[in-house]
Amino acid sequence: MENDVLQLGNRRFTNRLFTGTGKFANNALIPQMLEGSGSQMITVALRRVDLAAQEENILNYIPKSVTLLPNTSGARTAQEAVRIARIAREAGCGEFIKIEVITDSKYLMPDNYETLKATELLAKEGFVVLPYVLPDLTLAKRLEDAGAAAVMPLGAPIGSNRGLETAALIALLIETRRVPVIVDAGIGRPSQAAAAMEMGADAVLVNTAIATAQDPVAMGRAFALAVQAGRMAYLAELAEQSSLARASSPLTGFLGGD
Partner 1 sequence: MSFFNVIEQYKDFDFDGFFERVTAGEIESILAKKKLEPLDFLRLLSPRAASFLEPMARKAQQLTVQYFGRTIQLFIPLYISNYCGNQCAYCGFNRAHAIGRAKLSLEEIEAEAQAIRSTGMRHVLLLTGEAPEITPMAYIESGVRLLKQYFASVAIEMFPMEEEAYRRLKAAGVDGLTLYQETYDQKIYGEVHLAGPKRDYRFRLDAPERGARAGFRAINIGPLIGLGEKRREVFFAGLHARYLDDRYLATEVGLSLPRFNPAEGDFQPPCPATDREFVQYLLALRLFMPRAALTVSTRERAQFRDRLMALGVTRLSAGSCTGVGGYARPGLRNAPQFEIADTRSVAQVAQAVSAQGYQPIYKDWDHLA
Partner 2 sequence: MQVKINGRVEQLAPCTIETLVRQRGLKPEALVVEHNLKIIQQALWSGIALREGDTLELLSFVGGG
Residues 160-199 that bind partner 1 (CB under 8 A): 175-176, 178
Should residue 239 be labelled a site residue for partner 1 when binding is judged by CB under 8 A? Answer: yes
| Residue 225 burial (C-beta neighbours within 10 Å; 0-12, 13-18, 19+) | middle
Q: Which of 137, 147, 195, 235 contacts partner 1 by CB under 8 A?
A: 137
Q: Which of 2, 56, 237, 240 contacts partner 2 by CB under 8 A?
A: 56
Task: Give me the least distance between CB of 258 and partner 2, in Å please.
Answer: 59
- Pair 70, 49: CB distance under 8 Å: no
- Pair 146, 116: CB distance under 8 Å: yes
∠ CA 108-113-115, rounded to 5°: 70
Should residue 254 be labelled a site residue for partner 1 when binding is judged by CB under 8 A? Answer: yes
Question: What is the distance between the alpha carbons of residues 203 and 172, in angstroms, rounded to a whole number?
Answer: 16
Task: Give me the least distance between CB of 232 and partner 1, in Å please.
Answer: 17
Question: What is the distance between the alpha carbons of residues 181 and 140, in angstroms, rounded to a whole number?
Answer: 10
DSSP letter assigned to residue 156: S
- Pair 144, 150: CB distance under 8 Å: no
Q: Does the active-site annotation cover 141? A: no
Q: Which is nearer to partner 2, 179 or 205 (CB)?
A: 205
Q: Which does 56 bind (CB under 5 to 8 A by kind): partner 1, partner 2, none?
A: partner 2
Give the list of residues 6+ apart from residue 152 with CB closer than 8 angstroms, or none. Answer: 98, 130, 131, 132, 133, 181, 182, 183, 184, 205
Question: What is the distance between the alpha carbons of residues 136 and 170, in angstroms, rounded to a whole number?
Answer: 8
Should residue 83 be labelled a site residue for partner 2 when binding is judged by CB under 8 A? Answer: yes
Should residue 44 be labelled a site residue for partner 2 when binding is judged by CB under 8 A? Answer: yes
Task: Give me the least distance between CB of 56 and partner 2, in Å please.
Answer: 8
- Pair 140, 173: CB distance under 8 Å: yes
Q: Which is nearer to partner 1, 2 or 258 (CB)?
A: 258
Q: Which of 11, 76, 141, 189 contacts partner 1 by CB under 8 A?
A: 141
Should residue 51 be labelled a site residue for partner 1 when binding is judged by CB under 8 A? Answer: no
Task: Give me the least distance between CB of 63 and partner 2, in Å please.
Answer: 15
DSSP result, 55-109: ---GGGGS-TTSEEEEB-TTB-SHHHHHHHHHHHHHTT--SEEEE-BB--TTT--
Given the residues 98, 106, 117, 141, select the one marked as catalytic: 98
Q: Which of 164, 185, 193, 227 contacts partner 2 by CB under 8 A?
A: 185
**Annotated active-site positions, please?**
98
Residue numbers at the binding site for partner 1 (CB under 8 A): 137-138, 141, 175-176, 178, 237, 239-242, 244-245, 247, 250-252, 254-256, 258
Give the residues lining the site for partner 2 (CB under 8 A). 20-24, 27, 30, 43-49, 51, 54-60, 70-71, 73, 83, 86-87, 90-91, 93, 158-159, 185, 205, 207-208, 211
